[in-house]
Amino acid sequence: MDDRKLAFFTAIEDQGGVIVKGRTRFERLFHIGRSSVPLCVDALKAAVQEAKAGSDILRYQMAVNSLFQAAPNEPEALLDKAWMESKEKENRDTTAHLQAELQGYKNNLIKESIRMGNEDLGKHFEAIGDVEAAMDSFWKMRTEVSSTEQLVDLGKLLVRVAIERRDWKSIGNHLKPLNSVNDSDPKAKALKTYSKIANGIAALGQERYKEAAFCFVEASSGVPPEIYNQIASPNDVAIYGGLLALATMDRHELQANLLDNDSFREFLQREPHIRRAITQFVNGRYAACIEILESYRPDYLLDIYLQKHVPKLYADIRTKSIVQYLKPFSCVRLDTMQKAFNGPGPSIEDELFTMIKDGKLNARIDAINKSKALQTLENYEKQALDRIRRMNIMAADLEVKGSRKPGGMNDIPFSMTTDDTVSLA
């Protein structure tokens, strides 16, 4: 792998952007390697390097085995057994040492030392990949906590492990100490931003999209990324918040909560295409919004949190766009809709039918009676011409001799009907 690509994947800062730190870095690299054919080899090589920089032997094996399947001739595709044996012994020795140290603190009933001993042991278990043991050690710290700051630190440790375990439901409880910090506390703004982002990830994982959207857009861009970069990056906040808002908020909400939100606009500066897509939607240019998002769909399918939600979010945004597009009209031609939202390709008619069937669109499609509709239009045109002709004859004081035929001016019925549905023909 050339140095430029390696730098892209592994640098902490790249072109002014802050990349995530901690165990999530490996997760993201490994996920990209397993999800993208063009980036597979480079991402897996970076994942191997990231794993060897830590202590998680299982992660190293996973990365090497995946790389071997994709590119067996690469030097990194062979397991470094000497490193594995050395790291395994080191991990075992460290575990024994920390456990013995903790037992000594317990024997001496030193409360603060017991808390720190559990924290050190939990961080060690987390580093070697035993997240269940890490959670257990962190949980044991609760009884020894003696200050608000320690309670907050414990909450962040529990959140970090819960996110790795994808234990979304527990995250809200772990964040309670952060949310209870008084606003006068100098750290309150930073802690609440951390809480908003973590809660947003948890809500996204549970498909509570609107709740997640508000969490991300309420995060403060003035908080240093180092506060939360073990769970997300500022770019993540912009992408997650923007996409989720587009899928769940109306135009007025988008304007008020995103475009007029000075803090979130700072996040959007990192992902200008998301800002453009939101602006296009707010301005009623729905097809342009969808076109922008579609061009970035492959990128979002590589995201560890977004991937499984992309099809649903994109479908919701498209449905919203179609509904908003139709609002000003009482009747729209299918070929016009086709040009606006599909272009060449499969007809949009089936999509509209599904939306109507599901109750997402209050409309009806005149597909069966197209010929009748055209015939009716021709009849009205003919009747209108007959009316004009008769009026001209009467104005000229002329008389047409012959029997009066049905369908003359006095026999033409005309009625106006109203319908609360949109007719598409």
Band (pLDDT 50/70/90 cuts) for residue 336 is: confident
The domain spans of the chain are 147-328, 330-425
Q: What is the pLDDT of residue 370?
A: 52
Residues 282-300: pLDDT tens digits? 999 999 999 999 999 999 9
* Maximum average pLDDT range among 19-23, 181-185, 190-194, 398-402: 190-194
Check if the beta carbon of residue 14 is closer than 8 Å to that of residue 8: yes
As a whole number, the mean pLDDT across the chain is 86
**Matching residue, tokens 């990949």:** 129
Residues 170-194: pLDDT tens digits? 999 999 999 888 888 888 999 999 9
What residues are paired with 332 via a beta bridge?
424
**Residue 212: how many CA atoms within 13 Å on its side-chain side?**
28
Band (pLDDT 50/70/90 cuts) for residue 71 is: very high
Q: What is the pLDDT of residue 4?
A: 43
Residues 370-388: pLDDT tens digits? 544 445 556 667 888 888 8
Question: What b/e string do you get for 292-305 counting C-beta neighbours within 10 Å, with b at 16 or more?
Answer: bbeeeeeebebbbb
Q: What is the pLDDT of residue 349?
A: 79
Q: Mean pLDDT, to the nearest integer, of 217-244?
A: 96
- Considering the domain 147-328 in this protein, what is its CATH number? 1.25.40.570
What is the full DSSP assignment across 63-86? HHHHHHHH-TTSGGGS--HHHHHH
- Three-class SS string for 142-182? HHHCCCHHHHHHHHHHHHHHHHHHCCHHHHHHHCHHHHCCC
Check if the beta carbon of residue 228 is closer than 8 Å to that of residue 193: yes
Q: What is the pLDDT of residue 14?
A: 46
Phi, psi of 332 (to 5 degrees): -135, 135
What residues are paired with 364 via a beta bridge?
423
pLDDT at 335 over 70: yes
Pairing of strands 422-424, 363-365: parallel
pTM for the structure as a whole = 0.81
pLDDT higher at 289 or 419: 289
Which tokens hold the place of 90? Answer: 């080191």
Check if the beta carbon of residue 257 is closer than 8 Å to that of residue 278: no
Q: Mean pLDDT, to the nearest integer, of 96-118?
A: 94
Helices (H), 257-366: 262-268, 272-282, 286-300, 310-326, 334-337, 349-357
pLDDT higher at 336 or 226: 226
Pairing of strands 331-332, 422-424: parallel
How many CB atoms are located within 10 Å of the residue 346 CB?
9
From residue 405, give the alpha-carbon distance in Å to each of 54, 285, 410. Answer: 96, 52, 10
Closest alpha carbon to 78 in 88, 67, 86: 67
